[in-house]
Amino acid sequence: MSERPSRTALFLGYLQIGLTSFGGVNAWARRFFVEKKGWLTEQEYAEVLGIGQVLPGPNALNTAIGIGTYFHGATGAIVCALGLFTGPMVLLAAVASLYDTYGQLPLVRAILTGIAAAAAGMVMGTAVKMVTKLRPSRTLLCIGLAAFTLAALKVRMPYVLLMLAPLGLIAAWRELDR
Amino acid sequence: MTGEDDLWPLVTGFLGISLLSVGGGIAVLPEMHRLVVESHGWMDGLAFAKRYALAQAAPGPNIMVVGLIGWHVAGAIGMVSAMLAMCGPTSLLAYAFARLRRRVAGARWMRVFERGMVPIAIGLIAASGLLLASGAAEGWLPVAISAGSTLFVWRTRRSPLWVLAVGAVLGALFLH
């Protein structure tokens, strides 16, 4: 950790993440905290995210609370959560009615499809980047690939976690011994 | 019929769903469909699907779909109550866990837990990207945009907003 961000910086950071995060928040939060600001290392972010995903609840929010608590305890968690939701809440309240009217217009649909395709690449590129930077052992890599395959086959999430979390724990246990 | 009478079932419904949502809010999409479309008839399947598509297309957490449903059922108060019901209890749990993690930082069992979940976290991110890509893959151009964007984000440190802008322009020119 190169420096400790202030609460204001965390709030503004999550406000920005909330308003730009096409395709899901996690890839954008990683870009902000790890790449742009250097407030978290690749490993630290991956750990907070992993915890956010196994706990019940929206994982982007769980991760925001984890990051906020890490830096500033309860108030940190609150500013991160508020920052994350403020922008999208206002935006969605404004566009929800427009979308019902105009969302199916061919031009609007075409633009949204182009953005969705690019955002999908953003998310996949982030996953590849995390793997290349973290250089996991072969065992951990296999567990990651299994998680990817099961989720891509649309196996229900609780089952994926029930199957793979124990394997992840065993692998991490053995690697800490070395 | 929608309005104030529906506020209570809306809140209790999402409270129940939130506790099942291991693996993220979108893991419980089928349960949401059951609550909103089948049990209470607050909207039909198409309206539900449209709101889900909007929450996906807009920036921000995908769980905002719950806010959109709340808005439809009971206006602004519905939006806020549904989001609080869906996110409140699990947020307290996430906070309690984060506190615990700080208190026992460095303890061996916590290190094992933190490290063991990392590969799952990354695998799930990759899968969400792939599912998003397959949803957008109407012909070869969206697939090419996804592939190009993957390379761009992997190999450069430039802002991904560039590829989103390119995707929007290519979509506007060639996808309709």
Nearest CA in chain A to B117: A50
Residue B172 to chain A, least CA–CA distance (Å): 5
Based on the fold, state whether residues A32 and A116 are members of the same structural domain.
Answer: yes
**A127/B126 CB distance under 8 A:** yes
What is the extent of the structural domain holding A161? 136-178
**B23/A122 CB distance under 8 A:** no
Report the pLDDT value the prediction gives residue A137, as an integer from 0 to 100.
93
Residue B38 per-residue DSSP state: I
- In whole angstroms, give the CA distance from residue A83 to residue B3: 29
Contact list, A99 vs chain B (CB under 8 Å): 50, 54
Based on the fold, state whether residues A113 and A125 are members of the same structural domain.
Answer: yes
Give the side-chain half-sphere CA count within 13 A for B139: 8
* Residue B105 main-chain phi, psi, to 5 deg: -50, 130
Report the pLDDT value the prediction gives residue B55, as an integer from 0 to 100.
85
**B101/A113 CB distance under 8 A:** no
Residue B167 contacts A where some CB pair is shorter than 8 Å: yes
Nearest CA in chain A to B162: A118
Around Cβ B6, how many Cβ atoms within 10 Å? 17
- pLDDT mean over B52-70: 88
Based on the fold, state whether residues A112 and A172 are members of the same structural domain.
Answer: no
- In whole angstroms, give the CA distance from residue B65 to residue B75: 14
Give the side-chain half-sphere CA count within 13 A for B163: 30
Tell me the per-residue pLDDT of B20-52, one tens digit each, with 9 for 90 and over.
Answer: 887 777 678 888 998 999 999 999 888 888 788
Based on the fold, state whether residues A102 and A173 are members of the same structural domain.
Answer: no
Report the pLDDT value the prediction gives residue B2, as an integer from 0 to 100.
53
The region, left, alpha or beta by phi > 0 then psi within -120 to 50, assigned to residue B24 is: left
Nearest CA in chain B to A77: B95
Number of domains within chain A: 2
The interaxial angle of helices B108-136 and A157-177, nearest 10 deg, is: 140
Of the pLDDT bands very low, low, confident and very high (cuts 50, 70, 90), residue B104 is: very high
ipTM of this predicted complex? 0.88
Contact list, A168 vs chain B (CB under 8 Å): 115-120
- pLDDT mean over A82-88: 94
Compute the mean pLDDT over every residue in chain B, rounded to the nearest whole number: 90
Burial A95-129 (b: 16+ CB within 10 A, else e): bbeebeeebeeeebbbbbbbbbbbbbbbbbbbbbb
Residue A84 lies inside a defined structural domain of this protein: yes
- pLDDT mean over A111-131: 92
- pLDDT mean over B2-29: 84
- In whole angstroms, give the CA distance from residue B70 to residue B48: 12
The interaxial angle of helices B108-136 and A42-54, nearest 10 deg, is: 80
**A126/B129 CB distance under 8 A:** yes
Based on the fold, state whether residues A130 and A80 are members of the same structural domain.
Answer: yes
Q: Is the dihedral of CA A70, A74, A77, A79 positive or negative?
A: negative
Residue B42 to chain A, least CA–CA distance (Å): 16
Based on the fold, state whether residues A78 and A152 are members of the same structural domain.
Answer: no
Single out the residue of A99, A55, A114, A51 nearest to residue B168, CA to CA.
A114
Residue A1 lies inside a defined structural domain of this protein: no
Are the C-beta atoms of residues A147 and A46 closer than 8 Å to each other? no
Domain edges within chain B = 1-103
Residue A83 lies inside a defined structural domain of this protein: yes
- In whole angstroms, give the CA distance from residue B168 to residue B63: 23
- pLDDT mean over A72-99: 90
Residue B14 to chain A, least CA–CA distance (Å): 11
- pLDDT mean over B58-71: 91
Based on the fold, state whether residues A87 and A71 are members of the same structural domain.
Answer: yes
Single out the residue of A160, A33, A30, A168 nearest to residue B154, CA to CA.
A30
Residue A40 lies inside a defined structural domain of this protein: yes
Share of chain A above pLDDT 90, in %: 74
Nearest Cβ partner for B118 among A28, A50, A122 = A50
Based on the fold, state whether residues A151 and A79 are members of the same structural domain.
Answer: no
Of the pLDDT bands very low, low, confident and very high (cuts 50, 70, 90), residue A73 is: very high
Residue numbers of B between 51 and 90 with CB closer than 8 Å to A: 51, 53-64, 67-68, 71, 76, 79, 83, 86-87, 89-90
Nearest Cβ partner for A113 among B51, B99, B138 = B138
Share of chain B above pLDDT 70, in %: 97
Based on the fold, state whether residues A125 and A145 are members of the same structural domain.
Answer: no
B96 Cβ contact list (under 8 Å, min separation 6): none
Tell me the per-residue pLDDT of A5-58, one tens digit each, with 9 for 90 and over.
Answer: 999 999 999 999 999 998 889 999 999 999 999 999 999 999 999 999 989 999
**A58/B86 CB distance under 8 A:** yes
Based on the fold, state whether residues A34 and A73 are members of the same structural domain.
Answer: yes
Based on the fold, state whether residues A116 and A157 are members of the same structural domain.
Answer: no
Residue numbers of B between 127 and 146 with CB closer than 8 Å to A: 127-133, 135-138, 141-143, 145-146
Helix (H), strand (E) at residue B101: helix B64-103
Which tokens belong to A126? 């982030």
Residue A140 has pLDDT above 70, yes or no: yes
Report the pLDDT value the prediction gives residue A1, as an integer from 0 to 100.
46
Tell me the per-residue pLDDT of B105-139, one tens digit each, with 9 for 90 and over.
Answer: 889 999 999 999 999 999 998 998 998 898 888 89
SS3 (DSSP) at B22:
strand
Compute the mean pLDDT over every residue in chain A, rounded to the nearest whole number: 91
- In whole angstroms, give the CA distance from residue A41 to residue A47: 10
Based on the fold, state whether residues A69 and A140 are members of the same structural domain.
Answer: no
Report the pLDDT value the prediction gives residue B49, as an integer from 0 to 100.
82
Around Cβ A88, how many Cβ atoms within 10 Å? 23
Q: Determine the length of chain B.
A: 176
